[in-house]
């Protein structure tokens, strides 16, 4: 089962100095910064997913790429842009999609079929997903209720997605594209997902992505897959868009799922309240030392005269010094916890994280990790502070997630 990592221009600067928190004045982001597959000892994913909406933006709104990055992306192609040839020799796939959640509130997708094909074929993708429109809801009762208030809109979006998939495949064949087209199935219930898969199979698709499942509970996803399994042809391969559930790999594989994509392991490093650092069998809470000049709440309190700026800076630096001393064996864990607790209280004071911090500090999981980044950064990788530390921890999480996935897949094969 292949794992694809969605691109959002997440890179790290190898010139970043964690003591001075300064960068090289000669740094050029696209040239010098590293992607996850370059920063880690081995690529943590089988492929990269790139959305047209991220690269090109939407009508009236820019994407996450600068003009210079967009020009280079189209000039060099997706393979060279991401430097996918600089790996350990294992091929890394490239999968394109439209980024349907960015235009989910629109009545219709903002792109034409030919515009999307131009994006995929022009950049040299291996695989390309047809234009889709997300169904905004899930309710199995809608199948039996013709008066359901949202059923008509859900049906319209599903029908439109299938119509666009038919046009997409037809145009791809006419234009003799170099990528493999993938159809998208959207639904609001197990039977509606199964119906969409049947329609796409009739069109001729042998690879189908199941979309709109991110908000669903695991049991609902599995129920939908059971319904799809009943109609799936033996040659049809399924892709789960935005789904990460390692513990369900066996059930996914049995239903015909051969690939999935997700940013969850990466984003948990700086979005989750507690599960920020992955270990093979558990997670740890990162040690929060926010920057005084980059913490909106703390800055507001300083401006209001509630907190002396000099005191905030003193506590911030005391935390960093204590953490580094602990890593070197010169500072006690209690001294570190007291420093972190005082700074936590100054920043928000809403939650006592002492027990979680003690757990992280006592176990020091970075000492036994072989991702490469942990050996290089030591305790810095467990510090919740700024993009350079947080993204490195996110890359580490991808490495561990890959290990977890491989472990589950080995169990499935056995």
Task: Respond yes or no: is residue 261 known to be catalytic.
Answer: yes
Catalytic residue selected from 46, 97, 132, 344 = 97
Q: Give the count of alpha carbons within 13 A of 114, CB side only.
A: 2
Task: Respond yes or no: is residue 97 known to be catalytic.
Answer: yes
Q: How many CB atoms lie within 10 A of CB 264?
A: 16
DSSP state, residue 273: S
Contact indicator for 184, 129 with CB cutoff of 8 Å: yes
Catalytic residue selected from 261, 273, 348, 352 = 261
d(CA 40, CA 34) in angstroms, rounded, equals: 9
Taking CA 62 as the corner, what is the angle to CA 61 and CA 63, rounded to the nearest 5 degrees? 125
3 state SS of 159: helix
283 Cβ neighbours under 8 A, 6+ residues apart: 268, 274, 275, 276, 277
Among 167, 206, 214, CA closest to 186:
214
Label each residue of 316-380 as H, E or C: HHHHHHHHHHHHHCCCCHHHHHHHHHHHHHHHCCCCCCHHHHHHHHHHCHHHHCCCCHHHHHHHH
Kindly state the helix (H) or strand (E) to which residue 259 belongs, with its residue range.
strand 257-261
For the annotated catalytic residues, the residue numbers are 97, 261
């Amino acid at each position: 089962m292949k794992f694809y990592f969605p691109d959002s221009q997440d890179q790290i600067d190898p010139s970043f100095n964690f003591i001075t928190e300064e960068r090289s004045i000669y740094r050029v982001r696209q040239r010098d910064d590293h992607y996850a597959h370059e920063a880690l000892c081995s690529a943590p994913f089988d492929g990269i997913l790139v959305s047209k909406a991220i690269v090109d933006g939407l009508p009236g709104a820019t994407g996450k790429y600068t003009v210079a990055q967009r020009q280079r992306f189209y000039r060099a192609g997706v393979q060279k842009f991401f430097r996918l040839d600089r790996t350990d020799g294992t091929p890394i796939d490239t999968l394109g999609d439209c980024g349907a959640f960015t235009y989910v509130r629109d009545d219709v997708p903002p792109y034409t079929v030919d515009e999307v094909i131009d994006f995929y074929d022009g950049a040299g993708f291996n695989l390309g997903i047809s234009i889709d429109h997300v169904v905004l809801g899930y309710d199995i009762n809608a199948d039996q209720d013709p008066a359901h208030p949202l059923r008509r809109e859900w049906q319209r979006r599903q029908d439109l997605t299938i119509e666009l998939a038919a046009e997409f495949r037809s145009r791809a064949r006419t234009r003799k594209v170099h990528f493999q087209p993938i159809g998208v199935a959207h639904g609001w219930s197990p039977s509606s997902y199964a119906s969409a898969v049947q329609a796409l199979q009739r069109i001729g698709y042998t690879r189908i992505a199941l979309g709109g499942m991110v908000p669903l509970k695991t049991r609902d996803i599995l129920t939908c897959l059971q319904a799809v399994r009943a109609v799936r042809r033996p040659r049809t391969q399924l892709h789960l868009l935005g789904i990460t559930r390692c513990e369900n790999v066996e059930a996914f594989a049995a239903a015909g799922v051969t690939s999935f994509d997700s940013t969850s392991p990466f984003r948990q490093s700086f979005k989750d309240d507690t599960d920020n650092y992955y270990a093979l069998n558990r997670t740890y809470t990162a040690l929060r030392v926010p920057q005084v000049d980059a913490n909106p709440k703390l800055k507001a309190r300083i401006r209001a005269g509630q907190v002396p700026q000099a005191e905030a800076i003193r506590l911030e630096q005391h935390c960093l010094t204590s953490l580094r001393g602990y890593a070197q064996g010169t500072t006690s864990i209690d001294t570190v916890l007291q420093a972190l607790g005082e700074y936590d209280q100054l920043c928000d004071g809403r939650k006592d994280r002492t027990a979680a911090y003690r757990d992280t500090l006592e176990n020091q999981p970075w000492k036994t990790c072989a991702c490469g980044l942990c050996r290089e950064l030591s305790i810095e990788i467990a510090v919740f502070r700024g993009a350079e530390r947080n993204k490195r921890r996110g890359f580490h999480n991808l490495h561990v997630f890959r290990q977890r996935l491989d472990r589950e897949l080995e169990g499935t094969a056995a």
